[in-house]
Amino acid sequence: AKLKGKGRYQLFSDDIARLLAEQDAIEQALHTALGREEFELNFQPIFDANNLRVTAIEALLRCNHPQLKQAGPDKFIPVAESTGLIRQIDRWVIEHALSSLAQLQQRGFGGVLNINISANELHNEQFPSHISTELGKHNISPAAVELEITETTLIDADRQSVSVLRRLQDIGVNIALDDFGTGYIGFNQLNHYPVNTLKIDRSFVHAIGNESGQKRPMVDVVLELASIFDLDTVAEGVETEQQLLRLRKLGCNFLQGYYLARPMPLTELLKFLEQHGEC
């Protein structure tokens, strides 16, 4: 038993060592990529659930550095957050997202651009004024921008985060809670957050049609919560027609997912919008 325990501990510490080495490698790669501007944005359309018109577009970060390309943002963003590099990345993303939006507007796009930002920014008193400066620089109206913040990173409604969110809303940008339902923001706390939109995590969307014995799909509960607080709802990860039809019937406002459109580079997006008569 002693040996087994020791062996187990060895395995455990090997895993930790590997994880730390991987994070270290990602951190190095992030430094390199930032220095060489090896980032790029892709864009995924978001559709009105009823008429399937494109009402918004989400900017999603891509990296051409081989190691980061393989890891994907789900893996490298958390490393960027824990090392503080996220500030530089968020700045890069905001700058490039807004200049892309300016191009889209020139081509006639009248919708909203959704930009992901780290919850770290909510502890940065300068962030709202940074956003206002950037909007001014690109001559973009705040109402054309929605900032997405992941729900899990917002666990406690500390005063500073709430005040930064409120200042952002005062500027006129919208706020979306991303991956909603995966965190711990309950009924009570939702009340304290200045938010406009809930983005329902794709796990709820994928559960549609797989409810075992439940009378109501979970997504319906989330939609009801949103309607009580008068919030817009976006369903993420819509991959089938069945999901689309069900979500529409349940009253979800907006849909996003591979079934409707995948994330794509700006040039492709412009063609897509043109084909759909949105540009």
Q: Which residues form the interface with ligand C2E (CB under 6 A)?
A: 44, 60-61, 72-74, 77, 90, 93, 116-118, 148, 150, 178-179, 202, 236-239, 257-258, 263
Contacts of 90 (CB under 8 A, 6+ apart): 117, 118, 120, 121
Beta strands in the chain (DSSP E): 39-48, 54-63, 112-116, 145-150, 174-180, 197-200, 232-235, 254-255
Q: How far apart are CA 167 and CA 125, in angstroms?
A: 10
Sign of CA dihedral 224, 229, 230, 234: negative
- Min dist CB 121 to ligand C2E, Å, is 9
Q: How far is the CB of 102 from ligand C2E (least distance, A)?
A: 17
Among ligand C2E, Ca ion, none, partner that 112 touches (CB below 5 to 8 angstroms by kind): none
Q: Which residues contact 109 (CB under 8 A, 6 or more apart)?
A: 57, 101, 273, 278, 279
- Alpha carbon distance 52, 50 (integer Å): 6
Binding site for Ca ion (CB under 5 A): 116, 148, 178-179, 236
Partner that binds at residue 77, options ligand C2E, Ca ion, none, CB closer than 5 to 8 Å by kind: ligand C2E
| Residue 219 CB neighbour total at 10 angstroms | 25
CB under 5 to 8 A by kind: which of ligand C2E, Ca ion, none does 117 bind? ligand C2E
CB of 53 to ligand C2E, least distance (A): 18
Of 246, 220, 237, 225, which Cα lies nearest the Cα of 58?
237
Cα–Cα distance list, 75 to 70, 78, 120 (Å):
9, 6, 17
Cβ neighbours of residue 157 closer than 8 Å, sequence gap 6 or more: 189, 192, 193
Q: Measured from the CB atom, is 135 or 205 closer to Ca ion?
A: 205
Nearest to 146 by CA among 107, 104, 183, 197: 197
257 binds, among ligand C2E, Ca ion, none (CB under 5 to 8 A by kind): ligand C2E
Q: What angle do CA 198, 202, 208 make, to 5 degrees?
A: 105
Q: Which is nearer to ligand C2E, 22 or 92 (CB)?
A: 92
Report in angstroms how near the CB of residue 10 gets to ligand C2E at its nearest. Answer: 33
Residue number with CB closer to ligand C2E (22 or 40): 40
Minimum Å distance from CB 73 to ligand C2E?
A: 3
**Residue closer to ligand C2E (CB basis): 82 or 191:** 82
Residue 66's binding partner among ligand C2E, Ca ion, none (Cβ under 5 to 8 angstroms by kind) is none
**Nearer CB in complex with Ca ion: 74/230:** 74
Specify the residue, 7 or 111, whose C-beta has the smaller distance to ligand C2E: 111
Q: Considering the complex, what minimum distance in angstroms separates the CB of residue 99 from ligand C2E?
A: 14
User: Which of residues 10 and 130 has its CB atom nearest to ligand C2E in the complex?
Assistant: 130
